[in-house]
Amino acid sequence: MHPDLAELLRKRLSIISDLTWRDRDPAAHLEALKQVSVQITDWTETHRSVLDARLRHYLSNASYQKALAHLEEI
């Protein structure tokens, strides 16, 4: 339903799980995590009116794994 949002959420999870990158260059890893989080926030603000209540709730509470699971269910 919102493949661009799902892609951003998957990207965030991928960054979080890349422990080798985190250990090698923590500053760059943190910056990448911040950037994708800003992209998710911007996307959410732009599309808030077309999101169902549950997805809005997950995104507003930064429950990104739950948001991704919800997207994959619908």
Q: Residue 44 to residues 19, 21, 23, 35, 49: CA-CA distances in angstroms? A: 27, 27, 30, 14, 9
Is residue 36 predicted with pLDDT exceeding 90? yes
pLDDT at residue 1 in the model: 76
pLDDT band with cut points at 50, 70 and 90 for residue 74: confident
pLDDT for 17 equals 97
Give the pLDDT mean for 25-54: 97
Q: What is the average per-residue pLDDT within 18-43?
A: 98
pTM (2 d.p.) = 0.92
